[in-house]
Amino acid sequence: MNALVVERLGKTYFDLYTGAHVTAVSDVSLEVRQGEFVSIVGPSGCGKTTLLNMIAGFVAPSAGHITLDGRAVSGPGPDRGVVFQAFALFPWKTVLANVAFGLKMRGIPRGERERIACEYVALVGLAGHEARYPNELSGGMQQRVGVARALANSPELLLMDEPFASVDAQTRMTLQEELTRIWQDRRPTILFVTHDVEEAVFLADRVVVLSKGRVRAELPVTLPRPRRWETLIEDPDFKAQAAKVFGLVRSA
């Protein structure tokens, strides 16, 4: 069953500085199955984030349409959770309050939302840190809070826009492994934007390559799960699949 269907999507902006129209996304069609993990890669300026923002409902498309579980997407909604590159946490709220925020906005009673929030704080490996504030956490821990906050609302689709780009390499690898663990445990439908080819292949069931606002290729990832860097970093199959994706991105 397809959770997300994107049909002939396009986005054109008017550039005030040049006085010209700029096409960011052109005629993109894409389907994501329920419970599938799909990575989107491509060179800078290829339209990855614009595409994600249209699916999130933050940006209105100029052409085409988007449906999620058969319902048209016309704006932001709780059926889509978003994790950004910036941590985007409320600095005056505790870890627990940040994770519970969306539940509070939906009118979930306090006891129930705190129970759910505690469950997801534990899921991302932060049990015992519920009362801490964002400035007391490392960057990697803050991004775990962002993931927990998005998942706590039980979205039908989780959209992730380069969420690990602002942390150090070692933390990034740990977060990638944690995300695959969480995905295997809960099986959310995930669309993950990244410029890192190895990250895209490590995480996904399928990699979509964008070029100049269009889908250039879609490649299945055939690596077994669970995935850990210590076993995959020198794996010839992983290297071959990453090299194939890298070649497509490079030629784009």
Tokens of 209: 């390559």
2 and 53 part of one domain: yes
Does 19 score more than 80 pLDDT? Answer: no
Q: What is the mean pLDDT of residues 78-104?
A: 90
| 97 phi/psi in degrees, rounded to 5 | -65, -35
What pLDDT sits at residue 56? 95
133 and 184 part of one domain: no
pTM metric for this prediction: 0.91
- 209 or 3, greater pLDDT: 209
136 and 176 part of one domain: no
What pLDDT sits at residue 23? 86
The runs of H, that is alpha helices, within 34-155 are: 48-56, 95-105, 110-123, 139-152
113: alpha, beta or left? (left if phi > 0; alpha if psi -120 to 50): alpha
pLDDT above 90 as % of the chain: 68
- 207 or 1, greater pLDDT: 207
Residue 88's pLDDT band (cuts 50, 70, 90): confident
**Is residue 224 a part of any domain in this protein?**
yes
| CB contact at 8 A, 121 and 182 | no
| CB contact at 8 A, 38 and 190 | yes
pLDDT tens digits, one per residue of 169-205? 888 899 899 999 889 988 999 999 999 999 999 999 9
CATH number of the CATH domain containing 214:
3.40.50.300
Q: Report the alpha-carbon angle 208-209-210, nearest 5.
A: 115
Does 252 score more than 80 pLDDT? Answer: no
Domain enclosing residue 111, as ranges: 89-154
Q: How many helices (H) and strands (E) does the chain have?
A: 8, 10
